[in-house]
Amino acid sequence: MSVVLVVNSGSSSLKYQLVDVGAGTPLASGLVERIGAGPGPAAHTDAAGRTSRDEVSVADHHAAFAWMLQAFAEHGPSLESHAPVAVGHRVVQGGARFFEPTVITELVKINIDELSVLAPLHNPANLAGIVAAERAFPSVPHVAVFDTAFHQTMPPAAYLYALDRDVAERHRIRRYGFHGTSHRYVSRAAASFLDRPVEELKLIVLHLGNGASACAVDGGRSVETSMGMTPLEGLAMGTRSGDLDPAIVLHLQRRAGLGVDEVDDLLNKRSGMLGLGGHGDMRDLTEAAEAGDEAARTALDVYAHRIRSYVGAYAAQLGRVDAIVFTAGVGENAPGVRAMALAGLGGFGVAVDPDRNAIRSRAARRISTDDSRTAVLVVPTNEELEIARQTLEVVGA
């Protein structure tokens, strides 16, 4: 059995999953929240799906790992009989430097740290998780799997901003794209569902989670994606604005008197569905909209409108679309959002079947009508399994 521990360290959370890569199944998973911010929820789920919940005050990522080790010891499975052969880390920003999963050395850590200027909200937390995990698991290799890696195949026409070339190069300003691990996994899973080689397919993948991004996948390679230099660009998200006129940022500083950090906070944490509709969580937002809340309804309209714009743009870039694929928390679980996003596209050969769309399932499925020229699919993502597989490949276990 090849067991890999997958770690996704956020600024205030630690998510982990122990994966049996051969079987493709999780042996355990868990989450510690509100790291460094007083008492917060923590949960550990064992292989049988039993979840034990706790309320913990963890000061930092080291303490979060200590909680995790304790949870394994108390609730299983045992990390002695299911010892991980490697630890795979989600790292958000790999810049133009990392385009493959990479065994973590001191030099790699310096590079991840240095790339923090391009992902100040993500890379420092990823690095803190790596350092803590190395201490908890000192005798196995640690591997970084980058969100940006899959998008390194984008052509310059897609990744360049129309900025002064010297300024852009000096500051490494370009589109990097994120959620690559998910876009890669889902595009392959969609191909396998359609029973066609991914090399033959032109796909639009819509990863709609708390963060959200669209990706045009041509022959299995990312050719365009909606997130840019940072995960702020593109679709409207739970709390992030997505696309804006850049002059708005200047206006907020010049006229509204906001400082740089205040603008950063506004655009990343208080905008999107939260800012427009009062709820950053799609479940709460759709509930409010159904109860007649006008602001929530309008926010949903904006969310769907933005997705439709990207679908149209990517269809034009690809020249043909074999399938549009919904994934992640919202994409997998919110039929109303899926229907709104693709409404009115019948003239372009995209037709969602309302009955198929309403079916709740955890399996990959088709939700388009039989005569829809473009298939519309729901394909659950599994970033942890993909990270575990790539980790195992690099360490050659």
Ligand X SMILES: CC(=O)OP(=O)(O)O
Which member of 231, 234, 280, 331 binds ligand X (CB under 6 A)?
231
| Stretch near ligand ADP under the rule CB under 6 A, chosen from 75-83, 143-151, 276-284, 365-373 | 276-284
Question: Of the listed 147, 301, 353, 370, which one is catalytic?
Answer: 147
244 phi and psi, to 5 degrees?
Answer: -145, 155
Taking CB under 5 A as the rule, does residue 10 contact Mg ion?
no
Taking CB under 6 A as the rule, does residue 178 contact ligand X?
yes
Residue 238 CB, nearest distance to ligand ADP (Å)? 5
Residue 207 CB, nearest distance to ligand X (Å)? 8
338 phi and psi, to 5 degrees?
Answer: -60, -45
DSSP letters of 347-388? GGT--B-HHHHH---SS-EE-B-TT-SSEEEE----HHHHHH
- Contacting residues for 139 by C-beta, under 8 A, at least 6 apart: none
Helix, coil or strand: residue 72: helix
Taking CB under 5 A as the rule, does residue 231 contact Mg ion?
no
Taking CB under 6 A as the rule, does residue 50 contact ligand ADP?
no
CB 188 within 8 A of CB 220: yes
CB 243 within 8 A of CB 232: no
Which member of 12, 57, 210, 369 binds ligand X (CB under 6 A)?
210
Q: How many angstroms separate the CA atoms of 382 and 179, rounded?
A: 11
Taking CB under 5 A as the rule, does residue 180 contact Mg ion?
no
Task: Find the binding residues for ligand X in span 56-95 (CB under 6 A).
Answer: 92
Which member of 101, 211, 234, 380 binds ligand X (CB under 6 A)?
211
Cβ proximity to ligand X, 178 vs 326, nearer residue: 178
Q: How many angstroms separate the CA atoms of 262 and 249, rounded?
A: 11
Which member of 177, 209, 234, 331 binds ligand X (CB under 6 A)?
209
Taking CB under 6 A as the rule, does residue 251 contact ligand ADP?
no
Q: How many angstroms separate the CA atoms of 325 and 43, rounded?
A: 30
Annotation marks residue 147 as catalytic:
yes
Task: Tell me, by CB under 5 A, how many residues bind Mg ion.
Answer: 1
Task: Find the binding residues for ligand ADP in span 302-331 (CB under 6 A).
Answer: 328-330
The torsion angle over the Cα atoms of residues 178, 181, 184 and 187, rounded to 10 degrees, is: -90
Which member of 84, 209, 228, 234 binds Mg ion (CB under 5 A)?
209
Taking CB under 6 A as the rule, does residue 147 contact ligand X?
yes
Q: How many angstroms separate the CA atoms of 261 and 249, rounded?
A: 11
What kind and span of H or E run contains 111?
helix 106-114
Annotated binding site for ATP: 15, 207-211, 281-283, 329-333
Annotated binding site for substrate: 90
What are the structure tokens assigned to 65, written together? 């790992």
The residue type found at 111 is N
Residue 308 CB, nearest distance to ligand ADP (Å)? 19
Residue 270 CB, nearest distance to ligand X (Å)? 15
- Contacting residues for 159 by C-beta, under 8 A, at least 6 apart: 151, 174, 175, 176, 177
Cβ proximity to ligand ADP, 153 vs 381, nearer residue: 381
Task: Find the binding residues for ligand ADP in span 196-215 (CB under 6 A).
Answer: 209-211
Per-position b or e across 134-152, b if 16+ CB within 10 A of its CB: bebbeebbbbbbbbbbbbb
| Stretch near Mg ion under the rule CB under 5 A, chosen from 47-55, 114-122, 202-210, 223-231 | 202-210
The binding site for Mg ion (CB under 5 A) comprises: 209
Per CB under 6 A, residues contacting ligand ADP are: 209-211, 238, 281-283, 286, 328-330, 333-334
State the catalytic residues.
147
Q: Binding residues for ligand X, per CB under 6 A? A: 92, 147, 178-179, 209-211, 231
